[in-house]
Each structure stands twice: as structure tokens, then as C-alpha cells.
């Protein structure tokens, strides 16, 4: 976007500027979603690995 502003092309291509802002916003938000899912996956794996047989048997029969 700074390239467009430095060369004063932002007035000629306003839709490109909007598209770039949208793209940068999406890439950042997708990054944070991936981090949160990664943390959730680690928590689930930890909880799964710490289940004992006493807790696991009733859960098996419920499903």
C-alpha cells in the first residue's frame, strides 16, 4: 500500500487499496485462529492422555 501512496497511484486504483487492506486483515486474523486451534489441540491431547481407565469406561458406554 505504501508503494501505491509513494507513487501517488492510490487515487487511480482505489479498489486495489481496499482489496489489499482486506487481504492483510484476513491474513492476520487467520494467523490468530490457527494459534488458538493449535492451543486447543494441545489441551485436548493432554486431557486425552491423562484419562484413566476408571474415567474412560463410563464415557465409552455413554457413546
Condensed to tens digits (0 to 9), the pLDDT of residues 19-61 reads 777 777 776 666 666 667 777 788 888 887 877 766 766 766 6
Q: pLDDT value at position 44?
A: 82
Cell of 62: 455413554
Q: Quote the Cα angle for 9-12-15, to 5°.
A: 105
Query: Does the reported pTM lie above 0.85?
Result: no
Higher-confidence residue of 59 and 63: namely: 59
Tell me what pLDDT residue 33 has: 66
Nearest 10 degrees: CA dihedral of 17, 18, 20, 26? 170
Place of cell 482505489: 14
The pLDDT, as a whole number, for residue 8 is 59
Average pLDDT over residues 8-24: 69
* Contact between residue 17 and residue 10 where contact means Cβ atoms under 8 Å apart: yes
The residue count of the chain comes to 63
Amino acid at each position: 500500500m505504501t508503494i501505491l501512496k509513494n507513487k501517488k497511484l492510490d487515487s487511480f486504483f482505489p479498489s486495489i487499496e481496499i482489496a489489499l487492506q482486506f487481504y492483510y486483515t484476513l491474513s492476520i486474523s487467520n494467523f490468530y485462529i490457527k494459534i488458538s486451534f493449535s492451543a486447543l489441540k494441545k489441551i485436548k491431547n493432554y486431557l486425552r492422555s491423562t484419562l484413566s481407565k476408571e474415567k474412560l469406561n463410563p464415557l465409552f458406554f455413554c457413546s
